[in-house]
Amino acid sequence: MALSRLDNLYRQMILDHSAHPHHHGTLENATPIEMNNPTCGDVIHLSLLIEEGKIKDIAFDGSGCSISTASASMMTDVVIGKEIEIVLEMADSFSKMVQGETVENIEELLGDASLLSGVAKFPARIKCSTLAWKALEKAIAAGESQTSQGNLAKHEEGEL
- In this prediction, residue 5 carries a pLDDT of 64
pLDDT in tens, 57-71: 999 999 989 999 999
d(CA 35, CA 46): 8
**What pLDDT, in 10s, does the model give residues 114-132?**
989 989 998 999 999 999 9
- Per-residue pLDDT at 34: 94
CA distance 132 to 136: 6
Neighbours of 81 (CB within 10 A): 11
CB contact set of 119 (below 8 Å; sequence gap of 6+): 67, 98, 125, 126, 128, 129
Angle at 34 (CA atoms; ends 50, 27), nearest 5 degrees: 45
Structure confidence at residue 32 (pLDDT):
85
Domains, in order of start, for the chain: 2-151 (3.90.1010.10)
More confident residue, 147 or 131: 131
